[in-house]
Amino acid sequence: KTVDDAAANMLHGSYLLDGADVQVGTCCNRWYDKMQVIVCRDGTAGINFEHSSIDGHTALRFVSDIFAETVVNFAQSITKGIYGKGHIPHVVDAPVKRAALTLDQENQPKLDVFPKKLQFQFPTTVLDRIYFAETALGDEIVASDTVVLEFKRFGKLLIVSNKMSPDSFVQMSMLLAYYSLYGKIVCTYEPVLTKQFYHGRTEAMRTATPQAKHLCQVWVDQKKTTTSAEKLAALRKATAEHSRLVKEAAAGKGVDRHLFALNSIANRNGMDVPPFFRSKAWKTLNHTILSTSNCGNPSLRLFGFGPVVPDGFGIGYIIKDTALQYSVTSKHRQTKRYVNTLERTLLEMENLLQPINVVKVDDAPQRRQSLKEVSRTVVLTEDDDAYGDIWGESTSIAKQAVDQPKTGKKFTRYFPFVKRQKSLRGNRLTKVGQDVELKD
Q: What is the set of active-site residues?
A: 51
Report DSSP letters for 160-216, one per residue: HHTT--HHHHHHHHHHHHHHHHHS----EEEEEE-TTSTT--EEEEE---HHHHHHH
Least Cα distance to 38 among 26, 50, 23 occurs for 26
d(CA 257, CA 88) in angstroms, rounded, equals 44
CA distances 414 to 83, 160, 161, 162, 428, Å, are: 39, 9, 6, 9, 18
d(CA 173, CA 166) in angstroms, rounded, equals 11
Q: How far is CA 32 from the centre of its chain?
A: 22
Cβ contact 350:322 at 8 Å? no
3-state secondary structure of 238: helix
d(CA 324, CA 290) in angstroms, rounded, equals 18
- End-to-end CA distance of the chain, in Å? 53
CA distances 281 to 20, 248, 278, 286, Å, are: 50, 22, 8, 9
d(CA 325, CA 7) in angstroms, rounded, equals 12
Work out the angle between the directed axes of helices 166-182 and 210-219 (0-180°, nearest 10). 60
- For residue 439, the 8-state DSSP code is P
d(CA 70, CA 196) in angstroms, rounded, equals 29
Neighbours of 427 (CB within 10 A): 13
- For residue 230, the 8-state DSSP code is H
Least Cα distance to 48 among 12, 17, 78 occurs for 12
Q: Is 200 exposed, middle or buried (0-12, 13-18, 19+ CB in 10 A)?
A: middle
**In sequence order, what are the residues at sequence separation of 6 or more whose Cβ sits closer than 8 angstroms to the Cβ of residue 135?**
23
d(CA 146, CA 285) in angstroms, rounded, equals 25
3-state secondary structure of 55: coil
d(CA 352, CA 158) in angstroms, rounded, equals 11
